[in-house]
Structure 1
Amino acid sequence: MAEIEISQETFNKYNSNGKIALTPGYLQRCFESNGYPGYDGILQICKGKWELAKAGSLEYCYRVRISDGAFQYNTLIHANLQQQVGDEKDGLVEGSVIALTDCEILDSDQKKTFIITGYVLLSKSHEIVTHEGFKKGFSHPGNAEQFRNFKPTMKFELPWKEASEYSKDVIENQPPPTKMMKTDNGTVRTPAPAPKAAAPLPRKAPSKTESGIMPIAAITPYANNIKIHGVVTRKEEMRLIPAKNLKIFNFEITDAFGDTIRVTAFNETAESMATTVVENMGYYISGGTVRQANKQYNNTGHDYELTLRSDSKVEQGNASIPAPKLTMKRVELAQIGSHLGNLIDVLVVVEKIDENCTEFTSRNGKDLVKREMDLIDESAAIVRITLWGNEARNLDPQDYFKKVVAFKGVTAREFNGNFTLSTGQATRIYTVPEYHGVAQLFDWYENERSTVEIKSLSQFNQGGGSDAPRTIAGVTEMRFGENSEKGDYATLKAMITRINPQNTMYKGCSNEGCQKKVVETDGEYRCEKCNSTSNTFKWLYMMQFELADETGQVYVTAFGDTAAKIVGRTAQEVGELRDGDEQEFNSVFEGLLFQPKLWRVRCKIETYNEEAKQRLTVFTVEDINQDKYINHLEQLVEFLEEMDTE
């Protein structure tokens, strides 16, 4: 196709500071409106394919997967636009950007059909952009209620090279042309010419403070001679990033007005602060660089963070400042799907908790510790949360079990349609929270929990899968994974019937983050990936074993923490037995035989030497929930009986 030609009018209508910006959350607004929401949305194309066909009575000419930066969805372009699409189809490909000017949404038995009935091609040849919490591109389910309260905070601006002749003045800080802007309700307004840029005013500070001391609320990049006084209300462990030879130390300090800011130090300053700063002690801090807060890791509520320099001073102050009261921007568990990738606060009852920690080696070669809990609140949703490191290792389960707990600064995640929460450096946990709603939540749990229908949002951890167990014969004969690049998931009720202990682990590179198998020569271990030789190695799991049920057998593979959960020991522990006590080593794997479990596996068709084979990889393994399994069997019997009567 010819180069995209952008008119002055199109530029005025859609430019954002001379660039082109996606409209995060626009797909959700379309589903809420059941069609065009009253204003145009800027969307990016992930995939495009010419296809002149019908879907029921609907005629379409092009299939396209679109993204607003937060959500993605498969859509159809109406056949009425066939001529336009025919002229522009070489531009309706991965990375292109369009303005959606009209659309329709049709209900179907399974998934809503999204039809584009109007668009403008704006730009092409961009990389696909997604929010950090949506790294693989989160597919919107088409259900408007699931993300009803979604409020996007992300922003994606792309260079608009096709409109460079118009954007020049904007880039050079000249007043942009008058721009017609649409509001959320679809009305059009014309803003006044943009004034010259001016530094934002500092936030209004409290009136009473120490002489020469700046309230934390007043800190902005435009503040000079920063000196604050407060109590350290959170101290994190110093982190080391070997790849960058970087040391990082973070802590939070709260002043007498209850405002909190995150403070960061690097390298030598980090080492000094990590040993000097004590939690619940008062300090004066002077000097430092103010930066925009990274809300993905910062849950203080402040817009900025303070980075200490080599000339910054941290001096002990008085500790008479009262600890701040707990404040939360609480999100109900049923709504966490609207906050993927963001730090959120939840007030919950801990319904289930692992008695012991799980220690394992990650795929990056790191030794990790985790503990998992099941959380519930009045929204009648159960979500699993994972605690890491010392937070997992040091807790007493009796402080949590069936008690109201506040988690401040946890991250909402999604994988394969299941939602979970995870703790991190910014997480704070309050086992006896002083917060309104605690008594009401506990009363609900004691009196109403058993009377309401509960929905598990983390179903792959509840009994091994989000669907009813399938048979091995069914999975293999139906060739699960054949029509999916990423593979299909299934749950099997099966037992290990054959395992060769010698095919369960290997000697890996000792460098952190590397899992490459090493070559042993004269007592030294060579890693080709790292191009290094060492006199040490680490044991890593790569288990291959046979699963069987009443319909057949299949070989599967398990790695890392999944294999550690199957065995019940870390790879390093079992590897030391292999070298020192072969009989005990073999007995570890013999003890795994003939124990029925629920196995969550990923099925994928792989081709090698022009031969396609189905590969099964274990994703999770759980004990069988007999009540739930019997319920699945009863439903299956009812289904077969209905088929027999037809």
Structure 2
Amino acid sequence: MSFQLTSGICERIHNIKNDEEQEALTQTTPTLQVLSIKKVGPSTTAADRYRVIVSDGEHFLQAMLATQLNKFVEDDEVVKNSIIVIDKFTCNFVQDKRLLIILGMHPIHKATEKVGSPKALNNASEAATPTVQKPVSTTGTASTSTATQSHNASTSAPRQQQRNAKGQTIFPIESLSPYHNNWIIRARVTQKGDIRPYSNQKGEGKFFGVTFMDESGEIRGTAFNQAVDELYEKLQEGKVYYVSKAKVNLAKRKFSNVQNEYELSLERITEIEECRDGTAPSVRYNFVSLGDLQNIPKDTLCDVMGVVKEVGDSTELLSKFNKTVTKRELTIVDRTGFSVRLTLWGKQAEQFTQTDQPIVAWKGVKVTEFQGRSLSMISSSSMEVNPDIPTAHALRGWYDSAGNSQSFHAQSSGGFSQGPVTFDSSQIQLLNDVKESEMGTGDRAEFFSARATIMHIKNDNLAYAACQKENCNKKVIEQHDGWRCEKCDISFPKPSYRYILSMAVADCSGQAWLQGFNDAGQVVFGVPADELMELKDRDEEGFNKAVAKAIGYTFNFTCKAKQETFNERVRVRYGIQKILPLDYKEEAHNLKELLSSAWAQ
């Protein structure tokens, strides 16, 4: 085969003077050589980005690959000295240099040597006059003449540049950067979060986040305070909008799972106009099968699709900020024969009422670990019920014909044990040793025995109002007709209180916070939660004295150390599995045996 690079194209791109020149160039499909490929360091949640240098044989340019083209590099289809045809591109002006953004390409040959002696383009006066480029010749089963290749590269049918109704050029999301302000994107809203409060050194306010997507990629947008009032109602999930006059900033990666190094700051002057013409960009998924979740690291974000086999009741939990959060658990299955529990929160939990076993696609759900692999939606996750895509239609056909009659295996954590629930005095560990060994930070829970003294008990949220029905224990809500349990659909004149214990304990090495439930609370206080909460209602001072009375006592604990994520924060939680008062007779016996052992001799 013989190929010819598109002569002079790098210089023409470098010397673009206006939008008209850029538009004319972006309608061509130049043939270039890749001189180098360098990975740009990503965050833990964003995709890799690749910066490349491309050459037309005379000059070279810096370029960036759109993330959907990463597969060419990762599959070794494009390597150093490869010859490529750029099917779609745009340009940005970054630090006084043109940066080529490659949005579409296909490789045509893996060359072994660099073509020509390309030079850098510093400014227009230094650019060399285009010369006739010699073809790169290789051997192969097919033959393409130099003249034919040159004709194809320069006279390919121009692509239609996308414009809005006002005739303005639409930019792909992948081309946005802080160095270009006059842009308009046409994008679908794939996710819109709730309005949430914030508080920092500058004061208090509110914000919401939204994810935009087009054919080139995704970008996260955030609005604060007055911009929330202006824009929140204008944006609806699933609809397509023209968006302009927003700031492009470097992304705060810890707050987003969107694969883009930039994000949008939506302001009062930001223009949002619904697009009612043309086809809407479809959501791009990278599905992981339920059977493969065991191989996905905990806290990873992934896309899944499944049949919703079971829909649990919505329940309400009390968050650590003393706010009520709605929760609903679904059981989903797929063709791998596995079932997985997926948790919805907040608005998604309240609004999910489909009971006809729909097909649902989730984007950006978190892999969690609770009695095996499970999934959880977070603030930036999105879901689509019965999506009109081939994989969903295939899953529907399988389930209706065969899947609805088969049994499924629940995802397990590979022989994970719930651990001991008995105290072993010979295995006591110091609290500081537990922390320094980072116990519980892996995918599995770890268990330890400790002997510690209670130093402080949080008494502002010591118990919750629970259902009186046996084996329910769900939180009840006070209404005009009494205390109502949504799960049991029953109202009671009064609730049955249950302990939720959070206390600081200490030994000779240090301190740790332990969490426990009703059984632990009854051991610590010696009375049921109903009795202590009744005391709080009629005698606040007496209640405080009762709590203070429990401080200073030493107990033997069996605890479970487990890393968990709550409100997108990762921490190790020490849960009380069993709590026992000291048995001084047994302790004396143990000391006697220790003094008689070889260790004491």
Instruction: Give the TM-score normalised by the residue count of structure 1.
Output: 0.42
Tell which structure's C-alpha radius of gyration is larger.
2
Instruction: Give the TM-score normalised by the residue count of structure 2.
Output: 0.45
